[in-house]
Amino acid sequence: MHKLLRSNLGRLLLFGIIGVVLFLVGNRVDELRVYQGATLAMYVVAIASIILLTGYSGQVSLGHGALLAIGGYSAVLARNYWSLPIWLCFAVAVLTAAAAGAVLGTAAARLSGPYLAGTTLALAVGLPSIANQFSFLGGEQGLLFDVGVPPISLGADFSPYKWYFWIAASAALVMLWWLQNILRSRYGRTWRAVRGDEVAAQLAGIHAGKSKALAFTVSSGVAGLAGALLAMTIGTVSPSAFPLTLSFSLLTGAVLSGVTTLPGVMIGAVTLVATPEIAGAISHRLGNSDGVTTNLPGLLVSALLILVVMLIPNGPVEQLRSVRVRRNVNIHR
């Protein structure tokens, strides 16, 4: 117990130090980098939700972007119609997406493999069309999301994007710290047991259906927070902000991170943020063709995904961990 407490305090201290570093860096970079930092934090949270679902409970979702959309719309509606503080808007996003995930997770507990993937994919395809049918959701134009100004004056040079970056980075750090703790708890061990061998887990007294539903619910709540952060960063929610390609990008980011390990989440997030900039530089060298500019980011991500699956299917972090374990085994021999 004492060792566990020291471990938790150590992780909390580490996340606190990272937060201070991000705070200092955010004040010394330009607007573009601050915007990218907020987007990076959003991707970290979104990819973490997929790693929890797929890597720890063994469920595959091809439509996680739909859960981001539910969280994003919930946060904006709470802000615009109820004038709630921004942190309460994020709480509403998490709870609403978690409730939607609980409903979907109940069905997911009876599905597996391609059936579950197809169900979530259908949700991601159909949700934008549903949003267009209700005027209070803003239709195709969507709704604006104004998170307001900091509670204290931080000077004339303090831009809105710095405020967004602080909020997004803080939310990402808190969520990662919480996920680290829950994945090391009894729930995390239960999810891994069900993923490893569902029949053996049931023989050990684990209710696989309830375990899967709970994992889907928690993952959906985390995805809802990511959706609210995305809405804050771009300043609006609309069907076009949550396309089907978003779901595929998040899944790609999870594979690049190492879908079975949470510590690698930054790798996938950085890749997704950096890819458009790299693609823009390549497109500029090729003459700024519209076709190249539009299709190159997706091509780069797809090519990188194929290489990772072929060369390091478990992700860089898990690969390094395996190498370290084999090295230690050889040393002790």
DSSP class of residue 200 equals H
Contact 256, 55 (CB under 8 A): no
Q: For the segment 182-238, what is each residue's pLDDT rounded down to a tens digit?
A: 988 899 999 999 888 888 888 888 888 889 889 999 999 999 999 999 999 999 999
pTM metric for this prediction? 0.89
153 or 169, higher pLDDT = 169
Contact 36, 164 (CB under 8 A): no
Distance CA 52, CA 173 (A): 16
pLDDT higher than threshold 90 for residue 297: no
Which of 273, 231, 220, 211 has its CA nearest to residue 79?
Answer: 231
Distance CA 186, CA 163 (A): 36
Q: For the segment 71-108, what is each residue's pLDDT rounded down to a tens digit?
A: 999 999 999 999 899 999 999 999 999 999 998 888 76
pLDDT higher than threshold 70 for residue 140: yes
